[in-house]
Amino acid sequence: MAGVSRQQYVSDIKIVRVMCTGRVDLAFIFRALLNGKDGVFIGGCWPGECHYLTQGNYGALSTLHIGRKLLDMIGLSPDRLRLDYISASEGSRFAEVMNDISTKMKALGPLGKGEGIDATVLRPKLEVVYT
């Protein structure tokens, strides 16, 4: 359930909390993909509204661009990685984004299969990027 308004979203999403989106490392993203997740979503504070002095949401934007480029280089759809800005008070927006992500991941298909890449070929590529 999303927020005090109890907005419902799909149950096929696993949430991993970090203190700041600036703490999300490319290794986290590729570890999730190696563990069979079909995509990764990074949700953070709106630009200029970071709770930390580091403005980590701008760092997360860099991580997004690098991660998408790496996904494209190994033959996966860059759409499997998404960043969106959602404040803590936007429960209904969070639910909408989660439902949208689930719909798009289902449309892309299972990781690798949606792109026509065999699992025995995909895993080594992901491992190289992960390490």
Residue 10 inside a domain? The answer is no
Residue 2 inside a domain? The answer is no
Mean pLDDT of the 91-114 span = 92
**Domain encompassing residue 88:** 21-130
Q: In this structure, what is the dihedral angle of CA atoms 70, 72, 74, 76, given to the nearest 10 degrees?
A: 120
Do the beta carbons of residue 2 and residue 92 sit within 8 Å? yes
**What's the pLDDT score for residue 1?**
42
H/E segment holding residue 82:
strand 81-85
Residue 4 inside a domain? The answer is no
Residue 97 inside a domain? The answer is yes
- pLDDT bucket at 35, cuts 50 / 70 / 90: very high
Counted domains in the chain: 1
**What's the pLDDT score for residue 5?**
56
Q: ∠ CA 92-37-7 to the nearest 5 degrees?
A: 15
Residue 27 inside a domain? The answer is yes
Mean pLDDT of the 115-130 span = 92
